[in-house]
Amino acid sequence: MYKDIMEIQKELKVPKDNYNKFGKYNYRSCENIVEALKPLLYKRKLVLILEDELVNIGDRYYIKATATIIQSEGDKRIAVSAYARENDNQKGMDAMQLTGATSSYARKYALNGLFGIDDTKDSDVTSTHGKDKPTKQPTKQPTKQPVKKVKKINMDEIVVIKDLLSEINMDKQVFLKSLKKHINVSELEDIPQVHYARVVNLLEKKRENNE
């Protein structure tokens, strides 16, 4: 089954066809990922199940989304979970819309973790695409290629990790030291966005082992 997941990760193509006017960047949605996955899963007789659960961590409630791949002919399964918390100050949404958006966000990052999808924002968000033409063609100078910045986890996701560490009574530095086997980071703030679901999954397993 891991071979099937590996092949899907290689074949999966989900362009960033959606545009955020406020942040001025392109992005892919949970729905985009699911639609691109359907034919790849069908070819390998695999089923995708997306589930949500409301969980309490510390004094906050989170949507825990779990993406599970199940063999249609057998009982093997692989699952990855991700968390998201509703933004208390989100304007322009009623309660149902806010919960739905939070669920979609959590599901998207569970799918990212399961299928190795890099969700870094597009790098040319400030490009004018030729609209501002110079009056005189400047002499072309050799330039260094810009280093692609890796998107790090946001404050809400840092809070989720801290809450999980508190729940299993684990020191942050001890966790970061153990995490170096998987991701070489020295602070929680340095964890790449693409590894967020994997980090939460590791903490979830530790919590289950402690119960």
pLDDT in tens, 51-100: 988 888 877 888 888 999 998 887 788 888 888 876 655 554 555 566 67
pLDDT at 68: 92
pTM over 0.75: no
Nearest in space to 120 (alpha carbons), one of 147, 143, 99, 144:
147
Q: What angle do CA 116, 121, 122 make, to 5 degrees?
A: 115
Nearest in space to 182 (alpha carbons), one of 200, 164, 166, 159:
200
Q: What residue ranges do the domains of the chain occupy? A: 2-120+149-210
> Please, which pLDDT band fits residue 147 given cuts at 50, 70 and 90?
low
The amino acid that residue 132 corresponds to is D
Q: Which residue has the higher pLDDT, 85 or 194?
A: 194
Please list the residues that pair with 152 across neighbouring strands: 192
Query: Rounded mean pLDDT of the chain?
Result: 78
**How deeply is 197 buried, as exposed, middle or buried, from its count of CB atoms within 10 A (0-12, 13-18, 19+)?**
buried
Whole-angstrom distance, CA of residue 191 vs CA of residue 147: 18
pLDDT at 134: 46
